[in-house]
Structure 1
Amino acid sequence: MGQISTNGEIGARLRAFRKRRGLTQEQLAERIGVTFQQVQQYERGSSRLNAERLQQIASALDIPVGALFDDKDERALTEDEMRLVKGYRSLSSDEIRSFVLSSIASPVCSRKAGS
């Protein structure tokens, strides 16, 4: 069984994800229907988050709820990475997906231009 996260740990992860998404406390507050002062309290760990609010925050940040509890999920995708995943999933054929994967994995892609 995993260790229980404290309000402070959850708040720190919330702050990290918010910043990673490029959102201000005001913007996150607007998305979840609270004041920015309430977001400050969540991030400091001085105010508890109920299940409904956790779900709203996770949705607003486009992360799984579990990411707020588990350090392993600290590496949640950036906005650009999410766009890549969504684009890949929207590809219409396995052949195209295979081409994209081989292009990304190719050593040519990792070389600097003109090398």
Structure 2
Amino acid sequence: MIQTALAPLSLHGWRRRTIYDAELDGTVPIPSEDEIKRSIGKKIREYRLTRGYSRLKLGMKIGISDAQIFKYEAGQDHVRASVLWQISEALEVPVILLFGSSASSGYTDDEPDYLSLPDEATIFAAFRRIAPPDIQARVARLILALAVQDGESQGGSSG
């Protein structure tokens, strides 16, 4: 893992250095346009197959052709933001999950990459399907309580 450094933060002391700092100062290469298109296309294909959708079925759900879905998945065409949003809704995954990490960026962090957990999208989709709102709220509170408990056990809160 790459050690993170502290970066100056005006008026507030120091903050943890992020990938954005590294991109700005040139220490981490920014992925090319083609790498980004291929990465997004790969994620679209991955979640489409996870849902058991054909290209035709996904295309019909969002009103575009299966050939266009193929072009997106192959990284041949840019996916407009509005189309990416429609795809995420059709696949029942948060749009952020369609932005795969670029292996070529060379960036790793001390934090685990929660967005790349293989079952996260499935869990999120299942959570959205919990019918009684009170049960869904209980599950959400349980998850948040476990996250706080885990953060405290790791010494995450320093106040």
Q: Which TM-score band (shorter chain)?
A: 0.5 to 0.7
Q: Which residue of 2 aligns with 1:63?
A: 93
Q: Secondary structure, in 3 states, of the residue corresponding to 1:48?
A: coil
Residue by residue over 1:74-110, the C-alpha shift from the partner in whole angstroms, topping out at 9 and shown as x without a partner, is 33332x7633564387236x8xx59xx7xxxxxxxxx
Q: Distance in 2 between matches of 1:46 and 1:57?
A: 17
Q: Could you say which structure has the higher strand fraction?
A: 2
> TM-score, normalised to structure 1's length?
0.67
| C-alpha RMSD of the superposition | 2.8
Regions of 4+ moved over 4 Å: 2-5
**1:46 and 2:76 equivalent?**
yes
- Deviations along 1:12-50, one digit per CA (max 9) or x if unpaired, are 011001011111111000011111000000000001101
Structure 2 CA distance, aligned partners of 1:33 and 1:10?
A: 19
Q: How many residues align?
A: 95
Aligned 8 A contact 1:13 1:74 in 2: no
Kindly name which structure, 1 or 2, has the bigger radius of gyration based on alpha carbons: 2
Change beyond 3 A, Cα 1:86–1:29 = closer
Partner Cα separation in structure 2 for residue 88 and residue 51 of structure 1: 30
Residue in 1 aligned with 2:4? none
Residue among 71, 74, 84 paired with 2:116 = 74
- The whole-number CA distance in structure 2 between the counterparts of 1:50 and 1:85 is 25
CA distance in 1, matches of 2:128, 2:79: 30
Cross-structure match for 2:37: 7
Cα 1:85–1:33 shift into 2, 3 Å: closer
1:16 aligns with 2:16: no
Residue number in structure 2 paired with 1:91: 134
Q: Closer, same or farther in 2 for the Cα pair 1:41/1:18, shift >3 Å?
A: same
The one-letter amino acid paired with 2:63 is G
Using the size of structure 2 for normalisation, the TM-score is 0.50
Checking the alignment, whether the CA contact within 8 Å between 2:45 and 2:73 is kept in structure 1 is yes
* Higher helix proportion (structure 1 or 2): 1
Q: Which amino acid aligns with 1:69?
A: F
Kept in 2, the 8 Å contact 1:25–1:39? The answer is: yes
Alpha carbons 1:42, 1:49 under 8 Å: kept = yes
